[in-house]
């Protein structure tokens, strides 16, 4: 039976692995209590189970941490430490290691579990070590791209703006597009813009395609049905054009809600 609403209590440890201070622990406990109260209210209004298919409570678990891989650029480690991420979670370290090894991967972990770090870590580290490295991030909506842009800008400021990070969508001014084509180490876009604004004009994007190493597809579960089949063909065109420029980029895909990541990876 599919769960319509799931409650996952907060972790018992902080991001750096230390014990949660008393005040913070109290706030978390209060927050969980409030969530349970809201959930109980929803359930009381649905006695026949017509809206909520199932309610399940998962016990809190201690976070499992790993060390940053030895190949991660030291400035990037310092930037994450300044944000409070002194150590990655084990799944983040494992995903980063696979990406660094050149594997195509699908990352499937719950919402707010740090999937962004899984791909930003190897990609930003590669760019810091080789400024010619390029990456293309695909998001199903412009709003999601803007969310990730804010995270990347925050990291980039801590890295003294050494990484060119730009969105490329229908709202991008014409006078900015040439600069993006030349300066972007990471271009954040969506399938429609890839289809209409990048692939047909690939000769203007030679800097990107000649150095394209990574393609990130976030919210992988969004691409299903007709939309998914259309994107599949767009990605075939993308790979064909990349191959024309001598590149075979690797794919890093993410989702919180698919059950068959192994099939998607292939």
More confident residue, 120 or 39: 120
The pLDDT tens digits for 19-77 are 555 565 566 677 778 888 888 888 888 888 888 888 887 787 888 999 999 999 999 99
Residue 210 in contact with residue 247, Cβ under 8 Å? yes
Q: Residue 212: is its pLDDT beyond 90?
A: yes
The pLDDT score that the predictor gives to residue 192 is 95
The domains of the chain are located at 5-57, 74-265
Architecture in CATH of 74-265: 3-Layer(aba) Sandwich (3.40)
pLDDT at res. 261:
63
Q: What is the distance between the alpha carbons of residues 27 and 206, in angstroms, rounded to a whole number? A: 51
Checking if the pLDDT of 6 tops 50, the result is no
Predicted confidence at residue 16, as pLDDT, reads 54
Three-state secondary structure along 132-177?
CCEEEEECCCHHHHHHHHHHHHHHHHHCCCCCCEEECCCCCCHHHH
What gap in Å lies between CA 97 and CA 122, rounded to an integer?
Answer: 8
pLDDT of residue 244: 98
Q: In residues, how long is the chain?
A: 266
The whole-number pLDDT of residue 8 equals 39
Q: Any residues with CB less than 8 A from the CB of 166 and at least 6 apart, and which?
A: 172, 176, 179, 180, 183, 184, 186, 187, 188
- Where is pLDDT greater, at 10 or 216? 216
pLDDT cut 70: percent of the chain above it: 86
Q: Return the closest-CA partner of residue 14 out of 49, 68, 62, 58.
A: 62
pLDDT at 110: 85
Give the residue-averaged pLDDT of 197-218.
97
Tokens of 167: 């969105």
The pLDDT tens digits of the residues spanning 132-170 come to: 999 999 999 888 999 999 999 999 999 999 999 999 999
Tokens of 101: 């090894």
């Amino acid at each position: 039976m599919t769960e319509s609403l799931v409650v996952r209590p907060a972790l018992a440890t902080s991001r750096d692995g230390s014990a949660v201070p008393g005040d913070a622990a109290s706030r978390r406990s209060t927050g969980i209590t409030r969530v349970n109260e809201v959930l109980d209210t929803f359930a009381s209004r649905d006695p026949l189970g017509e809206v909520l298919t199932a309610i399940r409570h998962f016990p809190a678990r201690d976070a499992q941490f790993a060390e940053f891989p030895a190949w991660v650029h030291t400035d990037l480690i310092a930037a994450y430490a300044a944000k409070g991420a002194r150590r990655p979670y084990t799944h983040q370290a494992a995903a980063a290691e696979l990406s660094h090894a050149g594997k195509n991967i699908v990352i499937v972990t719950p919402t707010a579990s740090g999937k962004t770090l899984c791909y930003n870590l190897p990609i930003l580290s590669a760019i810091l070590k080789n400024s010619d490295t390029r990456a293309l991030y695909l998001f199903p909506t412009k709003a999601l791209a803007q969310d990730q842009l804010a995270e990347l800008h925050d990291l980039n400021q801590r890295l003294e703006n050494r990484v060119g990070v730009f969105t490329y969508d229908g709202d991008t001014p014409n006078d900015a597009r040439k600069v993006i084509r030349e300066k972007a180490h990471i271009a954040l876009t969506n399938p429609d813009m890839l289809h209409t604004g990048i692939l047909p004009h690939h000769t203007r994007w030679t800097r990107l395609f000649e150095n394209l190493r990574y393609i990130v597809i976030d919210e992988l579960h969004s691409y299903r049905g007709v939309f998914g089949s259309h994107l599949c063909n767009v990605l075939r065109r993308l790979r064909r054009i990349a191959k024309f420029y001598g590149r075979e980029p690797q794919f890093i895909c993410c989702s919180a809600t698919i059950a068959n990541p192994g099939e998607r990876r292939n």
